[in-house]
Amino acid sequence: MATVDPTCMVVKALVLLDSDGKRIVVKYYTPEWSTVAQQAAFEKSLFNKTCKTNSRGEAEVILFDDLVVVYKTLGDLTFYVTGSQSENELVLHGVLQAFYESVSLLLRGAVEKKTALENLDQVLLVMDDIVDNGEEACRAHSINAIEALC
């Protein structure tokens, strides 16, 4: 794994789950969840912690397993961005907004499980464009790149 500049904000994971807590797409940027079993356990416990809250339309911030988690639910999808406890919640919120807005633009406003799965390759490109090896990319660049895809 490449060395990350300590002055850069580090995202530990981008996670997109459906309304049942099942994985749609995820990207892990740190070795904490190196096996599929560890990832599945993390996703399940994260979903169980957040499924009873009402984050519809607004982002929520929680501390979970020594992580800052910013998440937002829309329709049958929940978008998550995780970082260490020392990360700035506002910056993580900016990453979440870029993630959500980019996927929304890509799916032409039909942000739901079916369309996300049909466009999975492009959703992965969005995630790669927003976060590069755990470092936040330029938000405006991400939005412009997605608009070019549409």
Q: In a structure prediction context, what are the per-residue pLDDT tens digits for the chain, which is 150 residues long?
A: 445 455 555 899 999 999 999 999 999 988 889 899 999 999 999 999 998 887 667 899 999 999 999 999 988 999 999 999 989 899 999 999 999 999 999 888 888 999 999 999 999 999 988 887 545 554 444 445 555 555
Domain boundaries, the chain: 13-149
Q: Contact 82/12 with Cβ under 8 angstroms?
A: yes
Give me the DSSP letters along the chain. -PPPPTTS-B--EEEEEETTS-EEEEEE-SGGG-SHHHHHHHHHHHHHHHTTS--BTS-EEEEETTEEEEEEEETTEEEEEEEETTS-HHHHHHHHHHHHHHHHHHTTT--SHHHHHHTHHHHHHHHHHHEETTEE--HHHHHHHHHHH-
* Assigned CATH class of 13-149: alpha beta
